[in-house]
Amino acid sequence: MKTTVTQFLVAGTVKVITGIRAVWHGCPPAGARPRVYFANHGSHLDFVALWAALDTPQRLRTRPVAARDFWNAAGIRRWIACSVFRALLINRTKATREDNPLHDMRAVLAGGESLILFPEGTRTLTGETADFKAGLYHLAKAAPEAEFVPVFLENLNRILPKGEMLPIPLLTTVVFGTPLSLQPLEARDAYLARARDAVLGLRHWHRAPEVSADSP
């Protein structure tokens, strides 16, 4: 209960600061199956923004995947990750039989909850999007029952760039694309490239036909 209230307050605050606008471009806000939202990564605010852009019932059942080495540090960081966002902390280094991130992620999806994932693995400095790591492919293979939704996060690397402490209040758009499914026999690199293109393709979603809005 306490977590729900905190989550509600945090989502509200983030929405006011960043004026978040969710654009459901390729899928409805709610789906019957658990989802894996995967997005470009340029800022610590990324998962907060994506999470806050979801409708409340979905948000309560969606957990961000975060690096254990960074977020499990003592103090406020850990509290934020675990108590506010119920983050699924995973091992970024080599997976072992007892500590395999894939296993944890599958368990969450099997429990009917959704995940937020950043397949680049880390934030980029330039705002460019790096190649996707193989984890997304393995998860897509291991959890075919889930919907894999590409998401493009606009401006967040400008709001809080890597290395900065204080955010500036710019407007954010979170664009949700059409779910992407792994084709039978699709190779790992082909799938990862397709997934990356799906995210970056959403960059131009608003280049719609020109309509003038100069009227009052």
Partner 1 sequence: MHLTEQTQHLFLGILAVLIVASGAGWLLKRRAVTRPGLGPVVENLVTRVNAWWVMAALLAATLALGFHATVIVFGLISFFALREFVTATPTAAADHRALFWSFFVILPAQYFLVWIQWYGLFSIFIPVYAFIFIPIRLTLAGEYKDFLERTARLQWGLMVCVFFISHLPMMLTLHIPGFEGRSAQLLLFLILVVQSSDVLQYIWGKLLGRRKVAPVLSPSKTWEGLVGGVLSASLLGLALTGFTPFRWWQAFGLALLATLLGFFGGLVMSAIKRDRGLKDWGHMIKGHGGMLDRIDSLCFSAPLFFHFVRNWWT
Find the shortest distance in angstroms from Cβ 19 to partner 1. Answer: 7
**Distance of alpha carbon 5 from alpha carbon 77, whole angstroms:** 19
Find the shortest distance in angstroms from Cβ 159 to partner 1. Answer: 9
Residue 174 CB partners (closer than 8 Å, separation 6+): 20, 21, 22, 23, 49, 50, 53, 151, 152, 153, 154
Find the shortest distance in angstroms from Cβ 46 to partner 1. Answer: 16
* Opening angle at CA 111, ends 106 and 117, nearest 5: 45
Nearer to partner 1, 40 or 114 (CB): 40
User: For 127, left (φ over 0), alpha (ψ -120 to 50), or beta?
Assistant: left
**Distance of alpha carbon 71 from alpha carbon 89, whole angstroms:** 7
Of 14, 44, 20, the closest CA to residue 124 belongs to 44
Find the shortest distance in angstroms from Cβ 129 to partner 1. Answer: 15
Find the shortest distance in angstroms from Cβ 93 to partner 1. Answer: 29
Nearer to partner 1, 7 or 155 (CB): 155
Where on the chain is the footprint of partner 1 (CB under 8 A)?
A: 19, 21, 125-127, 155, 157-158, 161, 164, 166, 168-171, 207, 210-216
Nearer to partner 1, 86 or 162 (CB): 162
Nearer to partner 1, 117 or 175 (CB): 175
Cβ–Cβ contacts within 10 Å for residue 12, how many?
11
Nearer to partner 1, 175 or 182 (CB): 175
